[in-house]
A and B are shown apart, each in its own frame.
Chain A
Amino acid sequence: MIKGIWSELVGLFVDDEFLAIAIVALVMGVGVLRYLEIVDPVVAGAGLVIGLPAILIAGVVRTLRRIP
């Protein structure tokens, strides 16, 4: 039962692998660039505001394309 609960807990956050990996990659990428002060806060903010909706669009379209 514990294994089942654990897999359902992970499933709360990870359902579509593409979506989850893309979100984590974008946020970590922006975070590293900010930490190293390669980009200023405005660019980092724009990266999140543009990137996360773009990932959502890609996630939906990707799923639709797999439907025959």
Chain B
Amino acid sequence: MNQLPTLVSVVGSSFLASIVEIVEAFTIILAVSIVRGWRPAIIGTSAALALLAVAVLIFGPLLELVPIHVLQFTIGILTLLFGLRWLRKAILRSIGVIAMHDEDAIFTKEANSLTALERQKLSRLEWIAGTTAFKAVLLEGLEVIFIVIALGSTRTSDGGNLIWEASLGALAACVLVLIAGAIVHKPLSTVPENTLKYSVGIMLSAFGVFWTGESFGIEWPGADLSIVGFGLIFFAIGTTLVNMYRPRYAKSAPVGAH
């Protein structure tokens, strides 16, 4: 097994993908805290993190009980759905037909929404602000957990996996975003989100091809190194599509980011 390239791919992809998700959650937590104060933001965030921790504690050990081929097939197909979805959107954003993900716009939208509710003097505003933070952290956190499981399920030569290494990549991303957020105290809109999603979409798609193939008993040439080869195929396709269609579509109005 070619351990080093695999380790770098797993930790790097986990780190980059987690940055994207944590920045998205941070934007909403910041909007909640600025409009309604830190209390509902902290309560909502803590509740979501507690729920995520419980889910990991309950379902984490269950993964060990699932037969390896079933796990590879399930994670492989979910990783393909997730990765190719990200890659398709990143390509369409690079071509210029859908708008770039704009953290400033999302921050303004969330802040305006909470401010409008505040004007109505709703008694449950604290609750609404808290659930907004809760929902954002829960959804983005679930994405991070999925990415960590998908990437970390890579088998090592001693039959183990790289869950801890992938988790460290995600944790490093979390620490980095929190430090950057605490310093600038505004949405982290300068993070090149589409480039990150493009890169991670390529890596997740490559891992997805590898996993599904492994679950069908396919022995890929070069073993784990084939993941790099799959990544190069997806990169070449994305680059070709962007170069081919960008001149034609770049001037058309973007249809909105999702």
List A residues at the B interface (Cβ < 8 Å): 1, 4-5, 8-9, 12-16, 19-20, 23-24, 27, 30-31, 34, 41-42, 44-45, 48-49, 52-53, 55-57, 59-61, 63-64, 67
Contact = CB atoms under 8 A, between A and B. Distances in A.
Contacts, number: 108
Interface in B50-95: 73, 76-78, 80-82, 84-85, 87-89, 91-92, 95
Nearest to B88: A59
Given A13-B85, A63-B92, A41 B205 contact: no
Contact of B78 (A13, A34, A53, A60): A13
A5 to B, nearest CB: 6
Contacts of B219: 41
Given A64-B245, A67-B249, A16 B220 contact: no
A39 to B, nearest CB: 10
Interface of B: 73, 76-78, 80-82, 84-85, 87-89, 91-92, 95, 97, 131, 135, 138-139, 142-143, 146, 205, 208-209, 212-213, 215-220, 230, 233-234, 237, 241, 245, 249, 252, 255, 258
Given A27-B76, A56-B88, A63-B92, A44 B213 contact: yes
